[in-house]
Amino acid sequence: MGSMSPSSFTVTGTGFTANGDVAVKILNSSGYPVAATVATADGSGNISVSFPGTQVLSIGAYDTPGTYYGSVIAIDMSTNLSSNAVGITLYYS
């Protein structure tokens, strides 16, 4: 569901309501959203949205080396159905 470069994190998904809005959220390990946006699905129900890399990195406390966990979810705003959560693991040394 995602890929990351130093400057961006892209989330893609399928199966949403065609031309409908989809809320995409990046959550920290406590389930608190650290970044969110609304994407509009195309006519086939697909989405692709990019977050700045700094927003994804905010799932961890980067003043202390360690392993940090988070997740990404997408909510179809037409049906209020949520995708499965996809895990994110960041290693900081």
Which among 19, 24, 23, 10 is positioned nearest to 44, based on CA atoms?
19
2-92: CATH, from 2.60.40, 2.60.120, 3.50.50, 3.30.200: 2.60.40
Which residues in 63-80 are b (16+ Cβ under 10 Å) and which e? Answer: eeeeebebbbbbbbbeee
CB 21 within 8 A of CB 39: yes
Instruction: Give me the residue label for tokens 């049906």.
Output: 79
Reported pTM:
0.86
**pLDDT tens, position by position, 40-80:** 999 999 999 999 887 887 887 666 778 889 999 999 999 99
The residue ranges of every structural domain in the chain are 2-92
